[in-house]
Amino acid sequence: MATTILRPYMSSYSKQLFPETPFNKRIVVTCAALDFSDTISKRPELSLSVGTHLIPHPNKVEKGGEDAFFVSNYKGGVIAVADGVSGWAEKDVDPARFSRQFITYASTFVEDEEVNYDPRRLIKKAHAATSCIGSATVIVAMLETTGILKIANVGDCGVRIIRKGQLIFSTCPQEHYFDCPYQLSSEDVGQTYLDATVTTVELVNDDTIIMGSDGLFDNIFDSEIVSILAAHLSVSDAAKALADLAHNHSKDLGFDSPHAREARTKGIELPSWKRFLGMKLTGGKLDDITVIVAQVKAL
């Protein structure tokens, strides 16, 4: 195991292209021992220490926004976010009702025998129980005490995992086209648990999970997430700092946000007179912002 200071060889290319960069003078962080052992059975039992923060869309503050989430300490720990699809408001349907009802049922069924601690089955059962009209993107993550994190994702909520100051895992958003995510719905045309992307990641002590609605990931870069986590020791402080930064970016018309970059990549353009003036599409995205920060801890 690498416990001494590492001096790995860099590619010769690096020096050729960036001759002024003093690679060989950089200090390399000591690679401390991970607590993986050869077999799962030898690992310490792990659980989650969780902080959460939700900032509603500025126009939806009174009703608390349309996101919903829950956290449970069942087994290693369960975290989940649902984001009500706002287009329903045009049909005089409150988009918050579906996401909240889904999360209520998900938290109710989390220990259900039929669910068998499987995030896709939890999505199936909670979706089947909903009676409201509406739709929502949802993500559920369940930690086994052995360190296996199981994630099921429908739409553009997301998870990032940071280990030793480095992003080691990221979910990919599912969408039909730009800004139209996969969604569980009261209508037959929506997605179901069968459309969930299901992944697992082996976690170790001190890994940090960041789960959020798209309001977080549309307004903050992964590099900013890494920096904020490094600057905040407590999970609740980190959750608040992430939500605050995303919220500030969301109101900043000049910020070249992940959402604006994605829009440009997908061919979305400003009106032609603005392009003629040399302007480019920038800005954050006003939205509900839900953040769950969960740190893995050995019991």
- Pick out residues in 52-71 that bind its own copies (CB under 8 A): none
Measure the CA–CA gap between 90 and 144, rounded to whole angstroms: 41
Whichever of 45 and 269 has its CB closer to its own copies, that residue is: 269
Query: Which 72-101 positions form the footprint of its own copies (CB under 8 A)?
Result: 85-90
Among 47, 129, 190, 236, binds its own copies (CB under 8 A): 190
Least Å distance, CB 234 to its own copies, is 25
Q: Please compute, for residue 284, the number of CA atoms within 13 A of its CA located in the half-sphere on the CB side.
A: 22
Given a contact cutoff of 8 angstroms between Cβ atoms, the answer to whether 287 and 57 are in contact is yes
Residue 41 interacts with its own copies (CB under 8 A): yes or no: no
Among 101, 130, 191, 219, binds its own copies (CB under 8 A): 191
Single-letter amino acid code for the residue at 142:
M
Among 200, 205, 227, 236, binds its own copies (CB under 8 A): 200
Burial of residue 238 (number of CB atoms within 10 Å: 0-12, 13-18, 19+): buried
Among 36, 104, 205, 232, binds its own copies (CB under 8 A): 36
Phi and psi of 275, rounded to 5°?
Answer: -65, -40
Helices (H) and strands (E) in the chain, counts: 8, 13
Among 176, 230, 234, 280, binds its own copies (CB under 8 A): 176
Query: Which 270-299 positions form the footprint of its own copies (CB under 8 A)?
Result: 271, 281, 283, 285-287
Q: Please compute, for residue 35, the number of CA atoms within 13 A of its CA located in the half-sphere on the CB side.
A: 16
One DSSP character per residue, 115-128 reads TTT-HHHHHHHHHH
What's the length of the chain? 299
Least Å distance, CB 236 to its own copies, is 26
Residues 6+ apart with CB under 8 A from 282: 253, 254, 255, 256, 257, 260
Stretch that binds its own copies, among 45-53, 105-113, 224-232, 263-271 (CB under 8 A): 263-271
Residue 168 interacts with its own copies (CB under 8 A): yes or no: yes
Compose the 128-167 pattern: x for residues touching its own copies by CB under 8 A, - for all others.
-------x---------------------------x--xx
Least Å distance, CB 131 to its own copies, is 18
